[in-house]
Amino acid sequence: MGTYQNGDASPSPLVDFRSFHNFRFSKHIHDNVHGNIFLDPLCLKFIDTEQFQRQVESVHFLVGFATSNNSVRMAHKVYPGAVHTRFEHSLGVYFLSGEAVQKLKNYQGMELGIENFDIQTVKLAGLLHDVGHGPFSHLFEREFLPQVCIGCDWSHEQMSVKMVDHIVDEHSIDVDAEMMKRVKEMILASSEFKQPQASRDKKFLYDIVANGRNGIDVDKFDYIVRDCRACGLGCNFEFQRLMETMRVMDDEICYRDNDYLNIQKLFATRADLYRTVYLHPKVKAIELMVVDALLQANNYLEISSHINDPSEYWKLDDTIIKTIETAPDEELKEARDLILRIRRRNLYRFCNEYAVPKDEHENFKNVTAQDIVCSQKNGGVTLREEDVAVSNVKIDLTRGRNNPLDSSEGYAIVFACHYTAMDYESDEKFCIPKERISHLLPTSYQDMIVRVYAKKPELVGAISEAFENFQLKTYGIKAQVHATPEKKKRRI
């Protein structure tokens, strides 16, 4: 990531500077994905705060959760090149947000009434959309908090909104109140899509940063390309093509009908990142250990005590692991030992996994350590729940068990979430009919995988056997036997 430099070249045509005076006080950085990114004076006021700079400490950022998932993962332990930060991602989304809305203005500005106010608002939403993430991102939100704050309604989007207000107040940033209101609505857009606001002006603007209707947004554009590049994986999804050809019809962003394969590649690439990177068995083992370390340290360090107070919450970042690792306090010994095990690659041992049958997806309930322990037969070592770690993995394209390109009327009515396309020879939008979708595309759009880990290497055999018994009892199918290191040794 390059350092800030004074703007000394002609401004990008895709960045609106009201005067040369504004440009003189702008800065630019060189990003290794998007090239030069110009930072306008208002956005710099937010960037140059301790609350935003905190994202520099969110190292080894690999989103993915999107939906689910976009998430800070521990993938750098398996993919050493995956070491970019949430700071870089936020600047990337800022850049793409400005590009997207400017392209719409270039093609349809008079028709849509896009103003400089709208451009600045969308760019700010892109810049600040992740400012509320906790340490280790989605791991903190979806794995740690549910175990220490049972039943609490918390999301990083909601905290981002609180953090935006805190930054404005703390630093006395002079910004239009209506603009900030819309910025916060755009940040929440993906989590509120089931309750669309019919009175919202220029609704298409709310789909640029976080699209709750169909999942096509610049947040995904940035992290998918950035993560693929960091991990040395190929990426044949062309977000530039979609941004160049998108248009607005009936207040909805639409795409050319012959771009459906490119849209499919967007979601397929995201699913591949989940399979090969975010949910790699060793990556998940490390994540399980980090969560256990945070749980062990929570009572003493009160990690979860400020999750609703942005004035304190911003101080919590990935360095909490270093705090645990270096603190001499006896109360942190168990958590400290877990971090030491990660450093020495003495990880939880992967025992086995199975894919949940497709016809069981709808009624599936997460498998627990208790399920595995209760499936142990008599004899040998007696397992305890604290000996077992279970990971319930879900991978989908973006719409659960549904094909993201299938825009059946029923689904669209219920969720207001469908892919529309434009025939440039007409002025009407339409959903792509099933018969036009390639038969080479997959017939299943979601995988559910249950993995089990042993926290102690000597328990791998007993836990593997109990896990196989559980699957046989539950589905009548014996688990596939994976070649764990212990099984390989027995073959020699």
Note the pTM of the prediction, 2 decimals: 0.83
**250 and 396: one domain?**
no
**118 and 29: one domain?**
yes
* Domain termination site, one of 223, 246, 281: 281
**What token pair was written down for 457?**
């290497």
* Domain termination site, one of 281, 305, 335: 281
The mean pLDDT of 283-300, rounded to a whole number, is 94
* Residue 302 maps to a domain: no
* Residue 488 maps to a domain: yes
**275 and 362: one domain?**
no
The answer on pLDDT for 63 being more than 70 is no
* Residue 32 maps to a domain: yes
The answer on pLDDT for 113 being more than 90 is yes
> CB within 8 A of 179, min separation 6: which ones?
117, 120, 121, 124
* Residue 301 maps to a domain: no
Rounded percentage of the chain residues whose pLDDT exceeds 70: 74
**239 and 355: one domain?**
no
Distance in angstroms (rounded) separating the CA atoms of residues 158 and 150: 17
Q: What is the CATH number of the domain that holds 485?
A: 3.30.70.2760
- Write out pLDDT tens, residues 166-208: 999 999 999 999 999 999 999 998 775 444 454 478 999 999 9
**192 and 52: one domain?**
yes
The CA-based angle 432-434-439, given to 5 degrees, is: 120
Neighbours of 186 (CB within 10 A): 23
Structural element, H or E, at residue 422: strand 420-422
> Pairing mode, if any, of strands 420-422 and 252-256?
parallel
- Domain coverage including residue 456: 348-402+445-492
* Residue 342 maps to a domain: no
Higher pLDDT, 337 or 433: 337
The mean pLDDT of 454-482, rounded to a whole number, is 85
**269 and 365: one domain?**
no
CA 173 to chain centre: 29
**151 and 228: one domain?**
yes
**214 and 355: one domain?**
no
* Residue 81 maps to a domain: yes
Mean pLDDT computed over every residue of the chain: 80
- Please tell me which residue in 34, 89, 133, 156 is annotated as part of the active site: 156
**245 and 377: one domain?**
no
* Domain termination site, one of 229, 251, 281: 281
Q: Which of 422, 416, 368, 427 is nearest to 392 (CA)?
A: 368
Task: Look up 129 and say whether it is catalytic.
Answer: no
Q: What is the CATH number of the domain that holds 204?
A: 1.10.3210.10
**238 and 353: one domain?**
no
**65 and 200: one domain?**
yes
* Residue 363 maps to a domain: yes
- Decide: residue 425, CB within 10 A, 0-12 exposed, 13-18 middle, 19+ buried: exposed
Q: What per-residue confidence (pLDDT) applies to 367?
A: 93
- Write out pLDDT tens, residues 2-55: 444 444 443 444 444 444 445 556 688 899 889 999 999 999 999 999 999 998
**149 and 253: one domain?**
yes
Q: CA-CA-CA-CA torsion for 213, 217, 223, 224, nearest 10 degrees?
A: 80
Number of domains the chain contains:
2
* Residue 343 maps to a domain: no
